[in-house]
Amino acid sequence: AEATAELVALRPRLPAGFSLGYSSDANAAEGLIGGGDAWHSVLAGTFPQTALAIAHAAQGGDAAEARRLNARLKPLWALFSAHGGLRVVYTVANALGLVSAAPPRPILPLQDEVAAHIAALIQTLELA
């Protein structure tokens, strides 16, 4: 309801055809369900099928499925909130062997114990 209200309030103040999107991965499903045009996702670069499934369900009118898929990622969203989505996704990409990289300075990589927790979580979510 909050995302829908936000969109309803913004649309009249913007030019026709202006695209409204969300960049908070944890809240993007609700934004799309509420009529948002786009999801600017940090997660989608590493798990495109996961993000697309949520987006397609939301934009296709299946709010229950979009919410179900999004709720499945709640532990990951909690890590995004605690450590920043960009830092978490760098850690995920490293754990999966997709890259061997650290975020650009001044952003610091996550501590080893947090990285180990994230790697284990990704395996339990079966996103890899």
For the stretch 88-126, pLDDT in tens is 999 999 999 999 999 999 999 999 999 999 999 999 998
Q: pLDDT at position 127, please? A: 77
For the stretch 27-74, pLDDT in tens is 999 999 999 999 999 999 999 999 999 999 999 999 999 999 999 999
pLDDT band at 7 (very low <50, low <70, confident <90, very high): confident
- Whether the model clears a pTM of 0.85, i.e. scores above it, the answer is yes
d(CA 19, CA 121): 34
